Structures are given as C-alpha cells and as structure tokens.
Amino acid sequence: MKIRIFFTNYIDIDNFNAQSLNAREIALRLNPDLFQSTLFYERSPDPRLVNKPHIRLIKIPGRLGTLKIFAEFFQGHDIIFRANLIRFTYLYLLLPRFLRRGSKIVEWFEAPSVEHLVWEPHYLEILYKLVISRVPDRIAMTEFTAESQFQYYGFNSNGLIPVGVDTQLFVPPPQRDNKVPVVLFVGTLIERKGPHLVLLAAHLFPQVKFILVGAKRGAFHMVLQQLMKKWDLRNVEFVDPMPHSQLVGLMQRCDILLHPSETESIGKVIIEVGASGMPALMFDRYRSPAVLDGVTGFQVKNMEQMLDRLNLLLEDKELRQRMGNAAIDYARKFDWTIITKKWEMEFLKLVEKQEDR
C-alpha cells in the first residue's frame, strides 16, 4: 500500500510562496509507486500537478473552505507534511490520538522562527511553541536553523534537508551581454528582506539598473516609495512576482543577485540564480550554504562590505563569469531530484517507526 502524504499548502499557480513551491516540487518527484500525495488549491492549481495518478488535488470552496481543510486532517494520511496551518494543527493535536488515526506530522524548520515571528501577532508565536513541542519529527534546512530552534525554543532536529532547485528549468543563457550589469533582487517587499538596502545600492550606483521582484506585504512598500522619491531613483524597476517559468528568463537577463535579507534558512532564490549562472551577495549571519564565499559569490558581515563586494562584481566581468560558472556546478547538489530522495527516505523511516509502535 502506498504511503499517503498530506501537503498542507495551497498550490495555486499564482501562489509564489516558497513553502507552496517547495511542496509542489517534492510531490511531483516522489516515487509514484510508493507515495500518494494530497494537496489543495483555491482557484487554479499548478498545471504540472493535474491529472497525475499519484497526486490528489482538492478544491477549497470560498464558503466553509476552512472546514474542508480541517476535515482532511482526519482522512487517514500516513504523514502530514508541515505544521504550517498552525491553528488547524493545534486543534488537531489537542484531540485524542485515536481520533488522529495514526497520522504523523513532520515539520521542516525553514528559518529561525523567533526572528520571523517578531513581525507576526504574539499569539502566533505562542501557538507555534505549543504545536512544535507536540511534533517530535523535525527536519531543519540548515545547521544554523537547527541550532536556532534549539537555542530559542529547545526544539531538537532529527536531521538536515536543504531546499532544492530545478536545474532543468533554471539554466544559464547562451551568454550575458549587458553593457552595464543589471542587479536583481527577489523577495517579499518587507523590511527583513532588505529591499530598502537594494534601493540604497541603487542610489550609490546610479549608472546600474536594479530590478526588484516581489509582492507587497503590509505598509513597508510605502517606505520604499519614499526612498524612491527622496533619492530620485531612475535606475530602479519594480516587478510583480511571476511563475518560475518566467522568472528564469529574467534571471538570465541579469548579472548579479543582491540579497540583503536579515534572516533566512538558505535563501532559495540564491540557489536558483546560481543554477542560472549568476553570482550572489548575501549576509553571513545565518551561515547559509547557498553561497560559497569567494567562489560562487560573497557572504559579508555588514552593508558596507556588501556594497564593496557589489562594486567589485560590477567592475569585473571576468570575476562575475567565473563565479557564475562555479555557481552552476554548485547548484547541482541541490537539485530537487536529490532533495526529494532524501525526503523519500525520511518518509519511509517515519512510517516504519509508526508501524513498530
């Protein structure tokens, strides 16, 4: 009998949330002879998941949709992938074990949650701690994430599995021939992602074009508008989030990724631009394995160093090409096929553990 997995993410085609994208990539690649996946959507599912015998899609209606999602928790899935529906998961875990029908929840620590939750209502952090304390099966994306979860909450991790990249989709262009390098930023337009620092770089390098791809959340985009006006930035373009099939084309037209995020697990977009042959700049405070410092890009300690390394890459085309080529090779170790195999082994272990009880 196949192992049944319930992915607790919306997988609509216009959902560009990283967790949603990760769930889709894993579900697509799981061995169809061993696994049956269930995912849900509101309007239009990712077409890659449609009409797959090993993938079950559930449409969530506008009315009473939350009840339909919660009811799915009780359909006898062997594994519930991630506790990110935090309120539903909390209610589910309050119930007696026999009502939960033996389902195992596995959590994938994406980033140091204490740093993420500081921007959320306080009750969400309380719920998070209550839920994760009751979820014994925890996998971290990086060593830093695992250490942070233990330091702040006392949560141990059972293993490490990084995020992946589709190296068949994210590929380099035949050549990059911009007369003046183009700098790219990809991330939600919120303070901790650092888009304001990208605008600072645009102010200091007015001859260089900067493209920011990201969705607005909250009111921080108004701060960005004020900076645009204050510095009279004519070299900046804002672009709405787009499907990966379009994003890769934009990456191929750019030269450097500027990623001044305050906190990450890995920085998925860094691996994606690496696969497309582009060096990246990021902070070293979360010890991401996405960049090999001095080889596929630079990891820096502060914004002053980031601007210095950006200037170096802007002026040295040969260095950009050398680092970009190294990034292509390095990204292959994060291919989703390899990452999914790791998850298959983890799911099999969870089920075996369940059967041994």
Map out the domains of the chain with their CATH numbers: 3-164+336-356 (3.40.50.2000), 182-334 (3.40.50.2000)
Contact call for residues 329 and 56 (beta carbons, < 8 A): no
The predicted pLDDT at position 216 comes to 92
Partner residues linked to 212 by β-bridges: 185, 238
DSSP secondary structure letter of residue 2: P
The predicted pLDDT at position 119 comes to 46
C-alpha dihedral over 287, 288, 294, 296, to 10 degrees? Answer: 180
- Positions of the chain with pLDDT lower than 70, given as ranges: 98, 112-123, 354-357
Angle at 242 between CA 312 and CA 198, to 5 degrees: 30
Tokens of 305: 């160093």
pTM: 0.91
Give the Cα separation of 112 and 184 in Å (integer): 25
| Helix H or strand E segment including 211 | strand 209-213
Give the Cα separation of 58 and 37 in Å (integer): 11
Instruction: Assign 196 to helix, strand or coil.
Output: helix
Q: What are phi and psi of 26, to 5 degrees?
A: -70, -50
Contact call for residues 39 and 25 (beta carbons, < 8 A): no
Give the Cα separation of 198 and 208 in Å (integer): 12
Angle at 314 between CA 313 and CA 316, to 5 degrees: 60
Partner residues linked to 140 by β-bridges: 109, 160
